[in-house]
Amino acid sequence: MKTGIYPGCSLTGSARDYNESVFAIAEAFGLEFTQIPDWNCCGATAAHNLNKDLSLALPARILALAEKNGLDEIIVPCAACYSRLVVTQHELKKDPELKNRICEVIEMDYRGTSVILNVIEWIDKYIVPKLEEKIVKPFNYKVACYYGCLLVRPNKILNYDRVEDPQTLDVVMSKLGATPIDYPYKTECCGAGLSISRTDIVSKLSGKIIEDAEHRGADAIVVACPMCHSNLDMRRPDINKYWDTEFKIPVIFVTQAIGLAVGLSPQKVGLKRHFVEVKIS
């Protein structure tokens, strides 16, 4: 089996820290993957809000490129891209006529055979089995595991973790030595793509997620989505202003926590690029 990776746009820019940590732990565990050649943007919220065919064609081109290059398994670290790719695969499988139309639009063959893995599925499959022997510095912190929306929903299509109170991220964090707290905001929305157009709504929603994690005594919020991260971390000054307070809790990617636990430096896993200072190391 040949494994590919679809980083998605944010991992090349505003979520560069996430990208660095994914590649750093892959190296530490001796894992190889090929970037899907000439990949394009998945279209994200904008495409499905404005144009349904476009919102299917953009992910279909990505999946077709993976097939053309013999990548039968694709890792998708961004939860939003992951959701778009899986939903597209589902829609095109359900409706052969639609599939033919989209194939004409992208001018490529598409079979829909790739296995799409989110970051936690990738960790479970390739990292967890070797984790125990690799840990040099257990991650002894209390953590709030925040899944957000698109890692678990639409649940009937993604068919991943349970939709209310999911557990997969909590289990990975426990294996690193962390103590996941009971956390009712696990799958509440951070405000997602309204970050720029309605920063006030994002500040309100993300503030609730942060406030509850702090209130319950967590040392960090752990995420697996670059959108969630940018709203909870990069938008922190707006959130603090909206709530008239100084939330200090750091927000880290699950891949950064793994990196630290296996002895990688904070810099190597991108922690120095965060807006909210991360005092964990």
Partner 1 sequence: MSHSEHHTERNSLAYSIEKNVEVYTQKCYQCGKCSAGCPVAEEMDFPPSMVMRLLQTEDPANDDKILRSHSIWLCVTCEMCLSRCPMEIDIPSMMDYLRQRSRSEKKVNKKAKNIIAFHKAFLNSIKYTGRLFELGLILDYKRQSLNLMQDVALAPKMISRGKLHLFPFMIKGRDQMTRIFKNTSK
Instruction: Report the interface residues with partner 1, using CB under 8 A.
Output: 9-10, 12-17, 38-41, 43-55, 57-58, 61, 104-107, 149-150, 153-156, 163-164, 187-189, 191-194, 196-199, 201, 205, 234, 237, 272-275
Dist. CA 204–CA 207, nearest whole Å: 5
**Preceding peptide of 154 cis, ω within 30°:** yes
Q: How many other CB atoms are found less than 10 A from the CB of residue 113?
A: 10
As measured in angstroms, the least distance from the Cβ of 90 to partner 1 is 12
As measured in angstroms, the least distance from the Cβ of 23 to partner 1 is 15
User: Between residues 40 and 179, which has the closer beta carbon with respect to partner 1?
Assistant: 40
Do 261 and 138 touch, CB atoms closer than 8 A?
yes
As measured in angstroms, the least distance from the Cβ of 201 to partner 1 is 6
As measured in angstroms, the least distance from the Cβ of 280 to partner 1 is 18
Here the tokens at position 175 are 């294996």
Phi then psi for residue 221, to 5 deg, are -100, 130
User: Between residues 47 and 213, which has the closer beta carbon with respect to partner 1?
Assistant: 47
Element (H, E) at 269: none
User: Between residues 248 and 272, which has the closer beta carbon with respect to partner 1?
Assistant: 272
User: Between residues 107 and 133, which has the closer beta carbon with respect to partner 1?
Assistant: 107
Dist. CA 131–CA 245, nearest whole Å: 38
As measured in angstroms, the least distance from the Cβ of 130 to partner 1 is 30
Dist. CA 121–CA 10, nearest whole Å: 20
As measured in angstroms, the least distance from the Cβ of 45 to partner 1 is 6
| Upper half-sphere CA count for residue 69 (Cβ side, 13 Å) | 21
User: Between residues 114 and 206, which has the closer beta carbon with respect to partner 1?
Assistant: 206
Q: How many other CB atoms are found less than 10 A from the CB of residue 138?
A: 12
User: Between residues 58 and 176, which has the closer beta carbon with respect to partner 1?
Assistant: 58
CA distances from 3 to 8, 34, 72, 76, 249 (A): 16, 6, 6, 11, 35
